Amino acid sequence: MVLVIAEQRDGVLNNASWEALVAAQQLDEPVRVAVAGAGDGLAAVGAELAAADVESILTVDHPELESYTPDGFVAAFAAVVTDTAPDRVFLAHTYQTREFAPRLAARVGRSLIADCVGVRPRDGRLAFVRPMFQGKFVADVAAAGPAPHFASFQIGAFRPDALERGAAPAPVTAFPVTLEPGAIRQQIEVPFQEAKQAVDLTQAERIVAVGRGIKGREHLGLVESLATALGAEVAASRPICDSGWLPMDRQIGSSGQTVAPKLYLALGISGAIQHLVGMKGSRTIVAVNKDADAPIFEVADYGIVGDLFDVVPAIIAALDA
Amino acid sequence: MKIAVCVKQVVTREWPLRVDEARTWVEDRDASFEMNEPDAYALEEALRLREQHGGEVVVCSAGPARAAQVVREALARGADRAIRVEGGGLAAADAAMVAEALAAAMRDEQFELVLTGLQSDDQGFAQTGVVLAELLGIPHATIIMEVQVADGRLRVKRELEGGWFQWVSMPTPALLTIQSGINQLRYATLKGIMAAKRKEVRVVEAAADLVPRQEILEIRVPEKTKQTHMIAGSPSEAAAELVKVLREEARVI
Ligand SMILES: Cc1cc2nc3c(=O)[nH]c(=O)nc-3n(C[C@H](O)[C@H](O)[C@H](O)COP(=O)(O)OP(=O)(O)OC[C@H]3O[C@@H](n4cnc5c(N)ncnc54)[C@H](O)[C@@H]3O)c2cc1C
Ligand SMILES: Nc1ncnc2c1ncn2[C@@H]1O[C@H](COP(=O)(O)O)[C@@H](O)[C@H]1O
């Protein structure tokens, strides 16, 4: 049996949970789903999940689970895993599961194969395909040791619309848990956003984005000249903003802005997944990188393998011509 | 405050990586190595906390003998002493195995705060710190962008998706995984490099009975799925061609 741990907040199911469910369904093993929370919101999510063709939905309802904490979720799901004894436990690779799932696996003496983009049979075993070295390689990884084996799946690796729906809603059962007083050591405050972004890159028609290939802040003028010539906004990968070379509100990616301009020109950006999720919806993507194997070429429509310090001045000159 | 910082040695980002002959790891025999990037930010945060609250910073690293290089570098940047867990098999080991090796060497030290990076550049598990917290029996929080310490408690700013954040507080001892960009890094000074030579490094053999829980069957370059129009030629030829296709084919300029 595959146990899928779904994620919800305030009665809203995280869409990525459907993808983890699709990953489980394609294995041809019975599937059960567990989801934690409290009260009506959780009940609504349970009913929503019941549309899937699965054996059952377990709702783990406890006032202390209304808001996510790592201690609370590890304790609750460890009880579910111990009680239901699945062969595998699947989750979506979200910021939340990144935080608690490795500890959950460790609590029951197992390990998690994280951030997988696929799963397939290989020599009688199940191989989980996951990126390594920042997307430059992928690896087939198999679990060693006894079940349950835990795996998490990168968002977008499976299509939520490939979900198999049941003829009738799956049964929803409550899974009671007890949490020792003091078991939850983290105290959380309400999530917030930093002050409104000064620059709204989502409205830009053209974006010239720069990555660590630029080497030093003193070279940013080159990028700005190209942006001016193209009528484009300047944006950057995270390390450029981390170093303080450009303000944070010019960062593109999972922890920055998500953009979809007509033209996205990536200069000296390797194309790590956290960057790609912020820009891969752009209409035309151009990449300039000196490494022909850089993952950015995987999403680019046009690519130039070369040194940006040679190529960028040449593009500026060609635009002038 | 007694603070541990876990640092991992990884192949330098600039190194042209190839898959090794067995196709289960990369060819790294002649590679150059560096400190995993978020770990440098974790170290910097530890040094800043020591400046504010006193105490000591102990750098902990597990790996083959070559990992001594990042330990030296951390000491040169200002860490007080080091624990280095040595084991040839640790370079390509899974997160649970590395966490076990570290926990065994760190447990008796009773650290009040353990900092790790949020993710390694090579394996990218994003797990070693989290599993280590479980093995040490202390609470944890991940992807931290600010750390406040008061009255034996931590209040930390956790990064969520899409520009959201959340403050979380918890008692010490605790473990935090640090996100890149939490602070501005300092680099080693000549004085620091000299001083590092006299600092204590405790070398511990990794236990022989650590069991892998994951096995890499094969590493390969990902298959291309998108038709990318690669533009060849000299920089000026390629640039002229690019401008032409952007005007006439893509019609975006
Ligand atoms: C939780 C989390 C959230 C993250 N959020 C984000 C995010 O929102 N946005 C983001 O961007 N990253 C994010 N990251 C970081 C991400 O994983 C990568 O580390 C980062 O995107 C790499 O930036 P880069 O491509 O500029 O640098 P690198 O990976 O160092 O790549 C530099 C590239 O430049 C090329 N290059 C070098 N010199 C030249 C030259 N002279 N000419 C041409 N090319 C050259 C190299 O071949 C290389 O491909 C996040 C990571 C985590 C773990
Ligand atoms: N071999 C190691 N030695 C010391 N710390 C490590 C080691 N491997 C991982 N870590 C720490 O755990 C963090 C997460 O690594 P990972 O789980 O490999 O993504 C890193 O940023 C380091 O701080």
Question: CATH classification of B2-205, choosing from 3.40.50.620, 3.20.20.80, 3.40.190.10, 3.40.1380.10?
Answer: 3.40.50.620
Question: In this model, does residue B161 exceed pLDDT 90?
Answer: no
In a domain, A108, yes or no: yes
Q: Pocket residues for ligand 2 (CB within 6 Å)?
A: B 6-8, 36, 38-39, 60-63, 90, 95, 98, 102, 116-117, 119-120, 123-129
Tell me, yes or no, whether A41 and A101 share the same domain.
Answer: yes
Q: Does A137 touch chain B (CB under 8 A)?
A: yes
Ligand 1 atom having least distance to the Cα of A240: 26
pLDDT category of residue B224 using cuts at 50, 70 and 90 = confident
Using CA atoms, how far apart are residues B138 and A70, in angstroms rounded to an integer? 11
In a domain, A94, yes or no: yes
In a domain, A185, yes or no: no
Chain B residues whose CB is inside 8 A of the A283 CB are 250, 252
Taking the centre of ligand 1 as the mean of its atom positions, its distance from the CA of residue B80, in whole angstroms, is 31
ipTM: 0.96
Tell me, yes or no, whether A163 and A255 share the same domain.
Answer: no
Ligand 2 atom having least distance to the Cα of B122: 18
How many separate domains does chain A show?
2
Question: In this model, does residue B162 exceed pLDDT 90?
Answer: no
Tell me, yes or no, whether A169 and A70 share the same domain.
Answer: yes
Tell me, yes or no, whether A236 and A103 share the same domain.
Answer: no
Tell me, yes or no, whether A228 and A122 share the same domain.
Answer: no
Q: Does A280 touch chain B (CB under 8 A)?
A: no
Taking the centre of ligand 2 as the mean of its atom positions, its distance from the CA of residue B69, in whole angstroms, is 15
In a domain, A47, yes or no: yes
| Averaged pLDDT, A53-65 | 98
Chain B residues whose CB is inside 8 A of the A255 CB are 159, 161-163, 179
Tell me, yes or no, whether A108 and A246 share the same domain.
Answer: no
Q: What is the pLDDT of residues A218-246, one digit of tens each?
A: 999 999 999 999 999 999 999 999 999 99
pLDDT category of residue B223 using cuts at 50, 70 and 90 = confident
Tell me, yes or no, whether A169 and A228 share the same domain.
Answer: no
Taking the centre of ligand 2 as the mean of its atom positions, its distance from the CA of residue A196, in whole angstroms, is 34
Which ranges in chain B are annotated with CATH 3.40.50.620? 2-205
Tell me, yes or no, whether A232 and A108 share the same domain.
Answer: no
In a domain, A190, yes or no: no
| Averaged pLDDT, A24-38 | 97
Using CA atoms, how far apart are residues B96 and B205, in angstroms rounded to an integer? 17
Question: In this model, does residue B139 exceed pLDDT 80?
Answer: yes
**Closest-CA residue to B235 (of A311, A184, A111):** A311
Tell me, yes or no, whether A80 and A209 share the same domain.
Answer: no
Tell me, yes or no, whether A37 and A120 share the same domain.
Answer: yes
CA distance B200 to chain A (A): 31
**Of A134, A155, A174, which residue sits at a domain end?**
A174
Q: What is the pLDDT of residues A115-133, one digit of tens each?
A: 999 999 999 999 999 999 9
In a domain, A194, yes or no: no
Q: How many CB atoms lie within 10 A of CB A107?
A: 18
Ligand 2 atom having least distance to the Cα of B115: 23
What residue has token string 């997944």? A273
Tell me, yes or no, whether A81 and A7 share the same domain.
Answer: yes
**Of A157, A174, A191, which residue sits at a domain end?**
A174
CA distance A238 to chain B (A): 8
User: Which of A138, A188, A255 minimises the CB distance to B159?
Assistant: A255
CATH assignment of the domain containing A25: 3.40.50.620
Which site among A154, A185, A201, A290 would you substitute to test the B interface, given the most B Cβ atoms closer than 10 Å to its Cβ? A185
Tell me, yes or no, whether A214 and A160 share the same domain.
Answer: no
In a domain, A189, yes or no: no
Residue A196 is predicted with a pLDDT of 66
In a domain, A179, yes or no: no
Asked if the Cβ–Cβ distance from A314 to B236 is below 8 Å, we say: yes
Residue-range definition of the domain harbouring residue A235: 201-320
